[in-house]
A and B are shown apart, each in its own frame.
Chain A
């Protein structure tokens, strides 16, 4: 069995998770501080990929990144790089699709933060970056971790936008989900089932981890109060 799709799926999921970990937290932290109207608008906009069909996301991405479209053409001209149809093109798709998961869980975690902790820390002379990394993040740790794991799981399973932006080339852009589709289409049911089982196993472990984190989170909160 050729394990490339597993390896490819995992590296795509890992890289996009690292990106949205910072992007999601950054967005959640700063958007929470904006005025209500701005917050409402940004919130809708940033959550949109969660409810849009992945094919719509894929189509929109192709409109931007395709070799003849604004961004795609610019990169092709200046760097001689084609943004679509390579293995890392999938990262664009997964990043957009999983961003709302991270953004929303991080925001939920930040909203539960007791601001008096930050106020006290400020008046004790602690810098804002110290407060963020040593007080706010540890306080919200479990929520953020749960969001990260969930986002990773979703990235691993992304199909629609991924297949549109990088297609299916065995050994180059194939991921687990595109491989399953391809195998099913070509009537290789036994091979498809292997990949289905692999995917099920990974998702199972990830969701178990999320559940355990959430439970720990609840227990931790009780302790704090």
Chain B
């Protein structure tokens, strides 16, 4: 049984980095005017900022903008396509809880294929230290703690690796700003990310970050041999709660195997009232 995961939306779950946290709460009022003031000086100070600092700043901003959604549920359909175009489908329901000061908690429940129906996966993500993961196997009623070291392994046989679908905390990467360019008519920052956690299958990720949404439009993944492995295009973004952007479609193409996987997200809901109790080993056992 492949280990499933949740939290498939790269934007959905972020650790509040120290920098991001300092911008919340009562200090916000003080910092905001300073930031606005700072922005007005940007053309003058831009040269003083290194490409690394600028890349990090974009990541922090993206993290900050996607803070405060509390909890989220969504339905996911995955369509796997092999090089001959043969398709197979998976259906997953996902629940995610935003955790202050750490990675998020997520619970994924599998409805399809039918032989894995009822299988559920619980994950407590962390920025640098390994995630805590439990798998529930309904045929045996067994809850199994599993290793989270196979980050580079395929998720449910798809072209998404586990590391592509777990929460993308700021501290998981180091950054480098490359340039600005339009992608399909949308202005974007192009930044490079380098995994700071162990067992990644990538040496770098080139990300086109939408300048308005601060969400990734396109990511190119380079493997351990530094050659282009995969490209992810995220599209059909919609805004929820007047703040949080979520894609309805994510298409991953593997250039080396010619296989591809499309994710179709639907029924996004926020602040549904989920608590820690909905993300423990007891709830894993009765997840349906």
- Report if A and B associate in a common complex: no
Interface residues, chain B, CB within 8 Å of chain A?
none
On A, residues with C-beta under 8 Å from B are none
